[in-house]
A and B are shown apart, each in its own frame.
Chain A
């Protein structure tokens, strides 16, 4: 059994590395919630600007937040934004992708037009305009919805491309001639082959959503009082932590963000390899 497991690991190295990284993160947050008192992540709950010490392993920031508590509380919030926006994006995107690729006609050209133009427009700027307009106290979930508003563009494009190529295959025609209806063909014939691609697209969308949300937060457009990773970086920049040499203040969020992105990246590569084995030789 061990040999087979080892062979599987060797074949899908990227996938395993991705899962391990995200597993570590989940462990950190899980144990953190048990061990650390997360409401210490609120301002004035600890002496300000303390380098990492016994009672504050990650040190404290200028507003008196215990950074370990902030990380333990903030990471799940950022991930939540990523997952909500990612799932919404892929959900809407794949439905639109499916419909436009399978039913073609005017619907297809409209969706294709929106997607092509939408992707050339820099997403962050549009999100800024939206966030600025909504200005009154954003919550984490509202943040997710804002990011989701553009997160569906890329999934729509990739799913449409996949379905278009599959649709020409013979087995869709045979299914139709065997009496299967349109939706049935989508679910029974196209969907199973699409799952690996969908999974890779989902992980991509989550990663892009997290990046967008952190970007907005760093610009100060995030949920001001929540301890998400992006907001922590905003305060780092706001208080010029770099220049003042408070290195511990930004190392923690950056380390965690790195683990998040590397984990998701390896996961995408791993899933891509499963989606089309030919890629396997490339890595």
Chain B
């Protein structure tokens, strides 16, 4: 399997400089591979502070990992040539979270689209460029004449986010990294944008990394899910397996906490609220130990590796230590284990 974009034991530590003793481990030995042959949508789910955004920035090459590597077409970003970077910048695109901060107030929204066209020489003439831009706008459900020529503050959050998706589409990339693309958009529009993401994957063969805190939307459009907890992978695997039969206690807690929009009342259990343990940032052992209902002595000693409990799912939890440990170096989700 040739990999397109891959993170290999990527770790990122912030702070920890001379004076700053409080080093925060944003990303801890994270490995993920995006398959080049079968473009899929990989959902990365995690709470705030789980390292989601750091992961996005590391995969985009905006932040260098402290240890480990990020490879694009098996070339390490750190040692890639200028030519390599230009190709990387074109093939890996991004959709940011905040539709308000992404637009330079000084320019009309067209600036967001014309810049990549000019910089990457996507069109030979202005007419060709305009045509290209109109196509991608229509592809995301926007009418060009209603959108172009306007200033950012004249458009709604939903419209602006869709222009952002169009921008990613413009460069016909191989991978799109969507960092919480719909969390600041209204529910009614959320589905439309996610639908356009999955059609892009299906029709144009673009692999998508969908990073979100919302497990339900991840379930709807992803093929594979990575559950992230404080920088390390708790559970990774096929979406149906992970959501329907969650193995890791944290995934179970996440799923049980989501209020379902159905008449049956199962969510508000009358039991005493779990005493909120002060998040002790113990360095050793499993990070979830402090909040885990089935914590055991081994959990506190060393962080559990990934155990391949099913052909298409691995769990980092000692409850499944008798399962074969997943190939630590290079865990491809959705592939039958060796």
Give A residues with C-beta under 8 Å from B. 169-171, 173-180, 189, 192-193
If over half of B's interface residues share one DSSP class (helix, strand or loop), that class is named, otherwise mixed; here it is loop
B49 at the interface (CB under 8 A from A): no
7 new A-B pairs (CB below 8 Å) besides A170-B103, A175-B104?
Answer: A169-B101, A171-B101, A174-B167, A177-B89, A179-B90, A180-B115, A193-B104
Q: A189-B104, A193-B105 are in contact. Are A175 and B62 (CB under 8 A)?
A: no
B89 contacts which chain A residues (CB < 8 A)? 177, 179
B120 at the interface (CB under 8 A from A): yes
B94, A171: Cβ atoms under 8 Å? no
A192, B93: Cβ atoms under 8 Å? no
B106, A193: Cβ atoms under 8 Å? yes
B90 contacts which chain A residues (CB < 8 A)? 179
B62, A171: Cβ atoms under 8 Å? no
Instruction: Name the residue of chain A whose CB is nearest to the CB of B164.
Output: A174
A178 contacts which chain B residues (CB < 8 A)? 115-116, 119, 167
A170, B116: Cβ atoms under 8 Å? no
B101, A177: Cβ atoms under 8 Å? no
Task: Select the residue from A175, A176, A177 with max chain B CB neighbours within 10 A.
Answer: A177
Top 10 nearest A-B pairs (CB, nearest first) are A179-B119, A170-B102, A170-B101, A192-B106, A171-B104, A178-B116, A178-B115, A169-B101, A170-B96, A193-B106
Q: How many A-B residue pairs have CB under 8 A?
A: 46
B47 at the interface (CB under 8 A from A): no
Instruction: Name the residue of chain B whose CB is nearest to the CB of A191.
Output: B106
If over half of A's interface residues share one DSSP class (helix, strand or loop), that class is named, otherwise mixed; here it is helix
A179, B86: Cβ atoms under 8 Å? yes
Task: Select the residue from A170, A171, A178 with max chain B CB neighbours within 10 A.
Answer: A178
How distant is B134 from chain A, measured CB to nearest CB, in Å? 19
Q: Which among A171, A180, A192 is the interface contact of B102 at CB below 8 angstroms? A: A171
How distant is A89 from chain B, measured CB to nearest CB, in Å? 25
Give 20 CB contacts A-B under 8 Å.
A170-B96, A170-B98, A170-B101, A170-B103, A173-B62, A174-B96, A174-B167, A175-B104, A175-B115, A177-B89, A177-B93, A177-B94, A178-B167, A179-B86, A179-B115, A179-B116, A179-B119, A180-B115, A193-B105, A193-B106
Instruction: Name the residue of chain A whose CB is nearest to the CB of B101.
Output: A170
User: What separation, in Å, do the CA atoms of A37 and B112 have in the docked complex?
Assistant: 59
B116, A173: Cβ atoms under 8 Å? no
